[in-house]
Structure 1
């Protein structure tokens, strides 16, 4: 296509556009264009809007109904779990109470530990009575007094009732301040006791773990007391035991470091983790939909934590539990292999002692035979 053809096409297009503008300006009718009924289009648009709004409302109602149904289903499942847990805890409580009663029977009255426990129980009972007398009873008395004043306040004049109201408010504020101080003191005592018990539990667990590790690392008395006629053999066995112990100690240290690293990644505080563990313990492992249920309950019990935080904490808890189980298996394997090693070492030393004794007997027999031969040779020479 040359430049002249392009110019011709441009002129043709411009002419058609000008003709269209000319027709529209002069209102010249054309069969190509039909008049538009804007009222009908507006009515159709409004009908579409109403249909769309109705559909959206139905969808919202369906979603809301679905959420409500799901919530009711979850609550029903939670109730079933709670009822089973309630029954289990009742059984445990009755069992513990019966054990405590049997423990405090007449046969064990002279036990010093039980005597201390009974004295402690008596002390707690006295403290509870003092708390009721100094805190709870005054509150109940104040409550009854306020009810009485409220009932009879309408019998007095406005100024007198206003002055009484001010006195009542001052008294209530004073009691609130006292209770706040008491509750704060109790909270601090509770926290102190919990920290004390937590520290002791950690010390006991650490001591138990360390004691078990030390027991496994110590040289067994069986190997230490046994005598061996071959010093090199016993030294070799002891060196093998030390190498064997060192290998397991290294694995145990790596396992402890892994547990510490995982524990540092926990997303919840100690108190929240206690709630987390208590909630998980309520739902049996074979329960259908267990994870959905306990995550839903955790979001209710820990509203300040997001689902993402709970899922992350769950992941690290599973890793921690797996690492702890691996540590337990490692100690069991160490203990088993240690017993097997000691048994084989004792058998080896016993065989060495038996071999040495046999060699000694053979040496004695050989010496005796040599002496007999020498005597016979001497007799032969004399003849």
Structure 2
């Protein structure tokens, strides 16, 4: 049995279980048995449970605070990123606007019939006017509502806590009205955005973008293809080298383009989500601390329906697409560089071949010239007479032939000039018809757009008139309420002033004027001055708070120092040791001792 008597140990066998039960029933161990106090145990359990619940609440609160701190830190870092991104976007906007304005100012019309330049400037003025009207119709109401709500909030704070909010329903109705209006405007902008995007797509501007058709097609330079090479084998080998370079790069480029076509342009997402993802990813560059975590956090906030795995997969797909596009760009640049180098080498080789062929021709020409001189000298005498006879016949035949050729050439030139003039007239007529058709289409589209904008502006003007009337009524009611409050305050002020005046009249003091009593001293002053003159007339002027001469002389250290001075020993080591061992008559206080060691 242990010291507390709460448990006992006994050795028994399984077959002695009945005997042990009988002994317990008969009270064999009743003297050592102590019953359990279940109330105290239950109270201890409840206390432990409450303590556990309190600890759990504290842990949850700590987690919430830590989560809020972490969220605040992340938001602060996001704000820092945006504070860096906002000036960059503003600079880009200012740069784009300046470039557009410079472009519009620098372009000049090609002629009297070139009216597109003036139409572009008029369209710019129209867009600026439309933007101002749009800002006044969308942003200005929001700022106006914000100022109105701030003014109402200040008025509500000035009122008492229990005062009724009479205008709450009207304010809520106004806020909901502005929200609905903004939703309508946003939907309209989205529709115009889609229409504009479809219009840009329908214009097929991709054909005006420079592509790789020059490299993909027959890329043999004209300098090599049309060159006057005296050696056909050399020219054929150069053409074959260009073909080989084109085939190798074309195979690589085709492989990269096939790899790029296997993935969607937007990597499986819709265009808006893809552009938002790409813009968010471009904001968090590697120079931002912890840019990966911040970027992933912002993407999860922007795309709450996307899981982290989808975001990472889209990022990897976008990285692969960028890498492939970079490879295509690098391959294209390398292709162009190799082709330029090969062209330079081919031109150098062709020039060397022409120089060598020219030297051979010079040698051959010299030999042929010598042979010709010899042959002419032999035949000159034989042909001279035959020439003289044929001169007349040849001159006549030549003159007739020249006349016929001149007439034929003149006739062909006249026919060619007539055909060319007819062709130019036909082209000019078609060009004027095409210009007229384009002007009619542009005029029709502008008229339709003007009708839509006028209807939208009429609707906005009607809504603005209703809003102005509503605000005028609200202002009139507030002014009446202020006038009522001011009248009530003035009445209460007049009543308070009358009450104070009545109280002043009741407690007014009525006394006769006495100049001697007013200018003379008081009785207490006279008593105080008389007591000072009679009692303290012999007291010292100042109090002394120091040692007396008897106390100073009673100090043995002073007497010993005086004796050593008279003996001339006060500067010796002996005097210092003697004075160090002499104790004062009264031990010093503890607060006067210094603990500094010199």
Query: Which TM-score applies when normalising by structure 1?
Result: 0.69
Which residue number corresponds to residue 504 of structure 2? none
Match of 1:29 in 2: 29
Equivalent position to 1:192, from 185, 192, 195: 195
**Residue aligning to 2:231:** 230
Query: Which residue matches 1:272?
Result: 273
Secondary structure, counterpart of 2:211 in structure 1: helix
Q: What is the aligned partner in structure 1 of residue 289 from structure 2?
A: 288
Q: Distance in 2 between matches of 1:44 and 1:202?
A: 83
If asked which structure has higher relative contact order (CA below 8 Å, sep 6+), I would say: 1
1:39 Cα deviation from its structure 2 partner:
3.6
Q: Which residue of structure 2 lines up, in the alignment, with residue 333 of structure 1?
A: 334
Q: Does residue 71 of the first structure (1) align with residue 74 of the second (2)?
A: no
1:287-306 to 2 correspondences below 5 Å: 287-306=288-307
Alpha-carbon deviations, 1:167-220, whole Å to 9, x = none?
Answer: xx9xx99xx999998876654332121233356687258x533435447x5211
Task: Name the structure 2 match of 1:251.
Answer: 252
Change (3 A) 1:85 1:182: closer
How far off its partner does 1:283 sit?
3.2
Call closer, same or farther: CA 1:292–1:129 in 2, change over 3 Å. closer
SS at match of 2:66: helix
The equivalent residue for 1:94 is: 94
CA distance, structure 1, for counterparts of residue 206 and residue 31 of structure 2: 99
Aligned to 2:493: none
CA pair 256-26 structure 1, distance change in 2 beyond 3 A: farther
Distance 2:32 2:351 in 1: 119
Task: State the secondary structure of the residue aligned to 1:90.
Answer: helix
Does the CA-based 8 Å contact 2:216-2:250 persist in structure 1? Answer: no
Change beyond 3 A, Cα 1:128–1:58: closer
Flag the structure with larger Rg: 2
Give the corresponding residue for 1:82.
82
- In structure 1, the partner of 2:426 is none
CA distance in 2, matches of 1:100, 1:240: 46
Map 1:97-116 onto structure 2 (within 5 A): 97-105=97-105, 108=107, 110=109, 114-116=117-119
The count of corresponding residues between Structure 1 and Structure 2 is 324
CA distance, structure 1, for counterparts of residue 245 and residue 78 of structure 2: 51
- Matched ranges for 1:210-221 at <5 A: 210-214=212-216, 217-221=218-222
Cα distance change, pair 32–243 in 1 and its aligned pair in 2 (3 A): farther
Corresponding residue of 1:146: none
Partner of 2:459: none
- What is the Cα deviation at residue 129 of structure 1? 8.8
Asked if structure 1 preserves the Cα contact closer than 8 Å seen for 2:277 and 2:299, the reply is yes
Q: Which ranges of structure 1 fall in alignment gaps of 5 or more residues?
A: 1-11, 144-168, 372-383
Identify the residue that residue 159 of structure 1 maps to in structure 2: none
Deviation at 1:336, TM superposition (A): 1.0
* Alignment CA distance shift 1:238-1:101 (3 Å): closer
- 1:288 CA displacement: 1.4
Q: How much does 1:88 deviate?
A: 2.3
SS at match of 1:263: coil
Q: Secondary structure at the match of 2:288?
A: coil
Cα RMSD between the aligned structures?
Answer: 4.2
2:314 is aligned to 313
